[in-house]
Amino acid sequence: MFYTSTRDKSVKVTAAQAITNGISAEGGLYVPCEIPEVSRDFIRELAALDYIGRAKKILSLYLTDFSEEELDYCVQGAYKAGKFSAKEVAPTVELEKGVNILELWHGPTCAFKDMALQLLPYLLTTSAKKTADGKQIVILVATSGDTGKAALEGFKDVENTNVLVFYPNDVSAMQKLQMCTQEGKNVAVCAIKGNFDDAQTSVKEIFTSAQVKEKLAANNMMFSSANSINWGRLVPQIVYYFSTYCDLLNQGKIALGDKINIVVPTGNFGNILAAYYAREMGLPVKKLICASNANNVLTEFIESGFYNKDRDFYTTVSPSMDILVSSNLERLLFHLSGENDDFVKSCMEGLFEDGHYTVDKSVYEKIRGIFEGGCCDDAATKQTIGDVYKRFSYLCDTHTAVAVEVYYNYARKSGDTTPCVIASTASPYKFSPAVLEAVGSADAVCEDGFVMMERLHEITGEPIPAPLAAIQSKPVRFNQVTERSGMTDVVLHMLGI
């Protein structure tokens, strides 16, 4: 199996090269040259396995240049007992008949990014052994909050890697504490004087600086990227869509071959794109329902074929979906246009130069055949958390609530009664203020994140996730703050070069 680029079809690389490089040289994203297809028997066999076994079988279809031992090492390392608080890793629970929740937040940082970022370090180090003579991998991350922590947890103490996270001043107090108490001998965290865009721009500059790269090379080190356009972050996400289907089979809720709908709260379009790959591979899926918050650029796109980032940006209670440029959509455009790299290039140029593009009729019709889009604002999000809790005694976070609301709107309007799976992307305790307001009272919201978690626990009786509770007693290890101009020095100092 080889990979090509969305912007240049003459590119042909192995999975290991795609994962080590992160992004193709001309700026395109790596995509599989063919999407592997699976049979009913394959799904039946998958259903008899645990999560690690399922992951290994799916990954082996895409990472054909990895040996069986290497795949074993990767999936065992990522998903072994104790890493995730649920023994199923990603359990599927029923909200009501025909409506199921796929909980993707039982990992060490309590958000769905762990599903991929626990595996990526293993995929990356294994890939680098094949393609880069075992060079030491240096991961630089600019984060607006969740990705930084998930990358730190994923890479901590993984041999031959270093991870350094820069975060802007305006992350939440809990997110800051999560990062600054990070354990591990190969990690570092540093605040920057500036916002997320400043952090991101400076990290890109360091990443591409010839001088810094030379210095790294002289010390047998190289940069790589952990952001969500890396194929190594996408491929682990395909696994849990197969896994949830197998769980529904085993629970007797569907029969082999029955179709399901999948609903995903979406930001950068990575999670829902993984569901698209699963569908293309032959997982019986009718519709993929793309849920957005007030930043509803994707809802408009799915309804009209017009993508327009030139619009107001809203800061919402589901901040991980506050995105106007959904990078992974580029991969979908490539596949749906019949792998037309010129078409993808012209869309991306339009986006860069004019802030918008429109897809042609054939692509638009394909999108309509597979996707539904919907959105809701903060008021409806909080209302949904309260309603779901009252009706089903189920506590969900703000991102999940967006998906729940969009699903019920869709079901009401369309009359579609296909069983559905709603991806739940974060623990409600990660977003205590909004959740507390939704199920308790606005008076309970205060400055102290730990007090709010306690109050939420008192009201709902739901256990506080151990990794979040533990932060309170952990020492702060990192308190460095730098100007943007000092970031390169911070990197070199951390690496001791």
Ligand X SMILES: *Cc1c(COP(=O)(O)O)cnc(C)c1O
Is 118 one of the binding residues for ligand X (CB under 6 A)?
no
Which of 55, 99, 111, 263 binds ligand X (CB under 6 A)? It is 111
DSSP 273-308: HHHHHHHHHT--EEEEEEEE-S--HHHHHHHHSEEE
Is 236 one of the binding residues for ligand X (CB under 6 A)?
no
Which stretch in 64-72, 212-220, 259-267, 359-367 sits in contact with ligand X by CB under 6 A? 259-267
112 or 307, CB closer to ligand X? 112
Which of 65, 70, 103, 146 binds ligand X (CB under 6 A)? It is 146
- Min dist. Cβ of residue 268 to ligand X (A): 3
Is 29 one of the binding residues for ligand X (CB under 6 A)?
no
Which stretch in 27-35, 109-117, 243-251, 365-373 sits in contact with ligand X by CB under 6 A? 109-117
- Min dist. Cβ of residue 316 to ligand X (A): 11
Size of the site for ligand X (CB under 6 A): 17
The Cα–Cα gap between 92 and 254 comes to 13
The Cα–Cα gap between 319 and 431 comes to 10
Is 65 one of the binding residues for ligand X (CB under 6 A)?
no
DSSP 208-245: H-HHHHHHHHHTTEEEE--STTSHHHHHHHHHHHHHHH
CB neighbours of residue 443 within 10 Å: 9
Angle at 478 between CA 477 and CA 479, to 5 degrees: 125
Is 399 one of the binding residues for ligand X (CB under 6 A)?
yes
- Min dist. Cβ of residue 120 to ligand X (A): 14
104 or 351, CB closer to ligand X? 104
Is 265 one of the binding residues for ligand X (CB under 6 A)?
yes
Is 269 one of the binding residues for ligand X (CB under 6 A)?
yes
DSSP 492: H
Handedness of CA 20, 2, 345, 371 (dihedral sign): negative
32 or 267, CB closer to ligand X? 267
CB 402 within 8 A of CB 434: no
Which of 227, 292, 320, 384 binds ligand X (CB under 6 A)? It is 320
C-alpha separations of 9 from 19, 105, 127, 161, 344 in Å? 18, 36, 22, 31, 11
DSSP 45-111: HHHTS-HHHHHHHHHHHH-TTS-HHHHHHHHHHHH-TTSSSSTTSS-EEEEETTEEEEE---STTSB
Is 289 one of the binding residues for ligand X (CB under 6 A)?
no
Is 112 one of the binding residues for ligand X (CB under 6 A)?
yes
- Min dist. Cβ of residue 23 to ligand X (A): 16
- Min dist. Cβ of residue 392 to ligand X (A): 20
- 286 is known as an active-site residue: no
- The 150-169 site mask, x for binding ligand X (CB under 6 A), equals --------------------
CB 321 within 8 A of CB 266: yes
Which stretch in 201-209, 214-222, 262-270, 381-389 sits in contact with ligand X by CB under 6 A? 262-270
Which of 291, 375, 426, 439 binds ligand X (CB under 6 A)? It is 426
The Cα–Cα gap between 459 and 385 comes to 14
Tokens 């019709």 belong to which residue? 365
Residues 6+ apart with CB under 8 A from 342: none
Catalytic (active-site) positions: 113
- Which residues lie near ligand X (CB under 6 A)? 111-113, 146, 228, 265-271, 320-321, 399, 425-426
